[in-house]
Amino acid sequence: MTFSGKGGRKQPPPRATRAARTPRPGSDGGPFAEAKPERLISAEPRPVKIRADEAEANFKAVHQEDGVRLQKVLAQAGVASRRVCEDLIAEGRVTVEGKVIVEPGLRVDPDAVVIHVDGVRVTLKVEHRYVMFNKPAKVMTTMSDPEGRRSIDDFLDESMRAARLVHVGRLDYETEGLLLLTNDGDLTNKLTHPRYEAPKTYLVEVQGELPVKTAKRLQSGIELEDGPIAADRCWVMGSTGSRTMVEVTLHSGRNRIVRRMFDHVGYPVTRLVRTAIGKIVIGDQPQGTLRDLELQEIGHLKDLASAAAGGQ
């Protein structure tokens, strides 16, 4: 499912579908990096400079005398070695409860604080299970199907069944791609609440050559039978003349919303793949496989849930 633009010109890479996959744990670090701070959470680290009085105020606001040293908490969470974590703190890349910390002597209660590194939430303790499923087409987003069609349960191993995972949202029978499974009921409720929808990115293949102006129309907004809808972003990646590939990002979780949007403008969808939910990207995970989310991805997921709840 790759295209080049007219005249063979290369198109710029899509934002979500070409995003780097979450790094694997390194021999000296955790899921965020190996040993060097520049290879940690952010591709473009954002050190913050703060005044001495502000740094002191931030320290006093979150310091727990009987707590655990911040660099030790980060190291135990798999961010990197303790030495590298000290560098991250000194560079102003770590926040505790939203406050920039530059003093490695800070002590915190890891069960009671929210910590971010380079803007990415650090998961300090995993009590639940979070799984990414790359759903193939013609699979029901249910744990069983009375008509005998394939369902999610057909792909689970025994440990996943024992964990009593449920799906976060759904994909229709023909739609492929990223589906999250978890036994964290609170997070599931927040992410599926009708008043909140996480941004989701799709690759959409349609019949014919879809004009750029039509993509802009979908982004500007159209009126469907159940109300108005507008894509956050709608980008024509390329066309062969008989079919066009489009990348769409939108917040709505209304039933079959992507298919209905393209039907409305006269371009029926022939293939639909969800590639991302927020910053969680399917990457190169093979279809039909499941894997546990890594700590960085769980942090992203909890940030989405926090946004749904209106705060941290």
- What single-letter DSSP state applies at residue 213? H
- 159's enclosing H/E stretch is helix 158-162
Catalytic residue from among 154, 172, 186, 232 = 172
Q: How far apart are CA 3 and CA 38, in angstroms?
A: 33
Burial environment of residue 11 by CB neighbours within 10 A (0 to 12, 13 to 18, 19 or more) = middle
Beta strands in the chain (DSSP E): 68-69, 94-96, 99-101, 107-108, 115-117, 120-121, 130-135, 166-168, 176-182, 200-207, 222-224, 227-229, 233-239, 243-250, 269-277, 280-281, 290-292
Name the phi and psi angles at 102, rounded to 5: -125, 5
Q: How many CA atoms lie within 13 A of 165 on its CB side?
A: 27
Residues in the chain: 312
Active-site annotation holds for 172:
yes
Residue 52: other Cβ atoms inside 10 A: 8
How far, CA to CA in Å, does 226 sit from each of 222, 262, 264?
Answer: 11, 15, 12
Active site members = 172
